A = this chain, B = another copy of it.
Amino acid sequence: MSANSRLTIAAHALAWIGLYQRQGHEVATSEQIAASASTNPVVIRRLLGDLRQAGLVESRRGVGAGWSLARDLESMTLLDVYEAVEPGPLFALHRAAPDPGCVVGHGIQPAMQRIYDVIEETLRRELARVTLKDVLQDVLAVPR
């Protein structure tokens, strides 16, 4: 599957900002986060832009600008992040509509869609069980 790293990078960014603020800083810049995540600042700004729309972070502009958490890490779950940065569904149906004249072609899409809906709901439940505070805690618990 063409898995992407958006959820990983977004979680990285949130954990980074959270830790940075815990150390007494007001805001974090996209450049700092990008350096830690080994990517481009624009990638971070785009992701954090999505997270801001979801109400997870805030940004300041001008000199001394940067990003800060809009809520406590404890109140954010991976589901919040997932919904903010992953638009599409997990599994796709057919690219072109299957033959409606065939019994299987006719019934397969509603049948699979119902299955996929159940599976995505389960995925959501799992994602909702992990808070970003948990993530940061796990990160800090990794031995050097």
Contact A37:B94 (CB < 8 A) given known A86-B1, A119-B127, A122-B122: yes
A108 contact from B2, B11, B35, Cβ within 8 A: B11
Q: Contact between B5 and A38 (Cβ–Cβ < 8 Å)?
A: no
A111 contact from B38, B97, B138, B144, Cβ within 8 A: B138
Contact A119:B123 (CB < 8 A) given known A36-B98, A36-B104, A37-B105: yes
Question: Is A54 on the interface with B (CB-CB < 8 A)?
Answer: no
Convert A63-89 into 0s and 1s, putting 1 for each residue whose CB lies closer than 8 angstroms to a CB of B: 000000000000000100000001111
A4 contact from B1, B8, B12, B130, Cβ within 8 A: B1
Q: Contact between A104 and B1 (Cβ–Cβ < 8 Å)?
A: no
Closest to A12 in B: B108
Please list 29 pairs of residues, one from A and one from B, whose beta carbons are closer than 8 Å in the complex, sorted by A's number. Answer: A1-B2, A1-B3, A2-B4, A3-B92, A5-B91, A5-B93, A5-B94, A8-B94, A9-B94, A12-B94, A12-B98, A12-B108, A16-B102, A38-B94, A38-B95, A38-B96, A38-B105, A39-B94, A90-B90, A103-B139, A103-B140, A104-B136, A107-B139, A107-B140, A108-B139, A110-B138, A110-B142, A115-B138, A119-B126
